[in-house]
Amino acid sequence: MQIDEADPKGLIRESYRIEGITLGECRSIFVDWALSLPVDAPMKDALRALIAHYALPEPDHPMSGVMEAGLLAPEAPKRRGGRAARVQGGA
Counting the structural domains of the chain, the total is 1
What is the reported pLDDT for 58? 96
* Count of alpha carbons within 13 angstroms of residue 88, beta-carbon side: 7
Higher-confidence position of 91 and 60: 60
Nearest to 32 by CA among 11, 62, 17: 11
Nearest to 14 by CA among 32, 1, 2: 32
With bands split at pLDDT 50, 70 and 90, how would you rate the model's confidence at 1?
confident
Please name the amino acid found at residue 70: G
CA 73 – CA 69 distance, rounded (Å): 6
pLDDT digits (tens, 9 = 90+) for 38-87: 888 899 999 999 999 999 999 999 999 999 999 886 666 566 666 665 66
Q: What range defines the domain where residue 84 resides?
A: 3-89
What is the reported pLDDT for 44? 94
What is the reported pLDDT for 75? 62
